[in-house]
Chain A
Amino acid sequence: MHINLGAIDYAVIAIYFAFVLGIGWALKRSMKGSADFLMSGRSLPAWITGLAFISANLGAQEVIGMAASGAKYGIMTSHFYWIGAIPAMVFLGLFMLPFYYGSKARSVPEYLKLRFDEKTRGFNAATFAIMTVFSSGISMHALASLLQLLLGWQYGACIAVSAGIVLVYIFLGGLSSAIYNEVLQFCLIVAGFAPLVFLGLKDVGGWSALQEKLIPVATGQGYAAGTWTQSWSHLGTATANPMGVEWFGLVMGLGFVLSFGYWCTDFLVVQRALAANSLSAARRTPLIAAIPKMFFPLLVILPGMIVIALPHVAGHPALPLTADGTPDYNMSIPTLLARYLPSGVLGIGLTALIASFMSGMAGNVTAFNTVWTYDLYQSYLAPGRSDRHYFWMGHVATVAGVLLGIATAYLASAFNNIMDLLQLVFGFVNAPLFATFLLGMFWRRATGHGAFFGLLGGTVCAAVFHGLSLPSGAAPGLKGAWLAPDFVFRSEMGQNFYVAIVAWSACFILTVLISLVTRPNKSDAQLEGLVYSLTPRQAETEQRWYRKPVVVGTLVLAVTLLLNLAFR
Chain B
Amino acid sequence: MNFDLRLPIGALFTLYGTLLVLYGFFGDRAQYARSLGLNVNLGWGLVLLVFGLGMLFARARSGKRQ
Contact A344 B34 (CB under 8 A): no
Q: Nearest CB to that of A200 among chain B residues?
A: B36
Complex: chain A residue closest to B40, CB-CB: A345
Using A15-B16, A199-B40 as known contacts, say yes or no to A343 and B27 having CB atoms under 8 A apart: yes
Stretch at the interface among A21-29, A222-230, A486-494: A21-29
- Minimal beta-carbon separation of B38 from chain A (angstroms): 7
B13-37 interface with A by 8 A CB criterion: 13, 15-16, 19-20, 23-24, 27-28, 31-32, 34-36
Q: Which A residues lie within 8 Å of B16 (CB)?
A: 12, 15, 191, 348
Contact residues of B: prevailing secondary structure: helix
Are B24 and A187 in contact, with the CB atoms below 8 A? no
**Could you mark each residue 170-206 of chain A with 1 if its beta carbon is under 8 Å from any beta carbon of chain B, else 0?**
0000001000100110010001001100010011000
Main SS of the interface on chain A? helix
Q: Which of A347-400 contact B (CB under 8 A)?
A: 348
Assess whether B48 is interfacial by the CB under 8 Å rule.
yes
Which of A251-259, A334-342, A534-542 participates in binding chain B?
Answer: A334-342
Question: Is there a chain B Cβ closer than 8 Å to A306's Cβ?
Answer: no
CB-defined contacts of B23 to chain A, threshold 8 Å:
8, 343-344
Beyond A15-B16, A344-B20, is A48–B41 a contact (Cβ under 8 Å)?
Answer: no
Measured in the bound complex, the distance between the Cα atoms of B5 and A48 in whole Å is 9
Q: Is the CB of B1 within 8 A of A340?
A: no
What is the count of residue pairs linking A and B with beta-carbon distances less than 8 angstroms? 86
Given the complex of chains A and B, what is the CA–CA distance between A358 and B1 in angstroms? Answer: 24
User: A463 vs B16: C-alpha distance in the bound complex, in angstroms?
Assistant: 49
Interface size on B, residues (CB 8 A): 28
Contact of B40 among A15, A27, A43, A195 (CB under 8 A): A195
Asked whether A183 and B5 contact (CB < 8 A) given A345-B40, A345-B41, the answer is yes
Task: Count how many chain A residues have C-beta atoms less than 8 Å from C-beta atoms of the other chain.
Answer: 33
In the complex formed, the residue of B with least CB distance to A342 is: B31
**A526 touches B (CB below 8 Å):** no
Compute how far the CA of A15 lies from the CA of B18 in the bound complex, rounded to whole angstroms.
Answer: 13
Tell me the smallest distance from the CB of B56 to a CB of chain A, in Å. Answer: 14
Which residues of chain B have C-beta atoms less than 8 A from A191's C-beta? 13, 16, 44, 48, 51
Q: Is the CB of B9 within 8 A of A184?
A: yes
B58 CB, nearest partner CB in chain A, Å: 12
A348 and B40 CA atoms in complex are apart in Å by 12
Q: Which residues of A contact B32 (CB under 8 A)?
A: 342
Whether the Cβ atoms of A341 and B5 lie closer than 8 Å is no
Task: Enumerate chain A interface residues (CB-CB to B < 8 A).
Answer: 8, 11-12, 15-16, 19, 22-23, 26-27, 30, 41, 43, 48, 176, 180, 183-184, 187, 191, 194-195, 199, 202-203, 339-345, 348
Task: Known A-B contacts: A199-B40, A343-B28, A348-B44. Give 13 more (CB < 8 A).
Answer: A15-B12, A15-B15, A15-B16, A187-B9, A187-B51, A191-B16, A199-B36, A202-B36, A339-B34, A340-B36, A343-B31, A344-B27, A348-B48
15 contacts between A and B (CB under 8 A): A8-B27, A11-B19, A12-B19, A15-B12, A15-B16, A43-B1, A180-B5, A180-B8, A187-B51, A195-B44, A202-B36, A341-B40, A342-B35, A344-B40, A345-B41
The 6 A-B residue pairs with the shortest CB-CB distance, nearest first, are: A344-B41, A342-B31, A344-B23, A30-B1, A345-B40, A19-B12
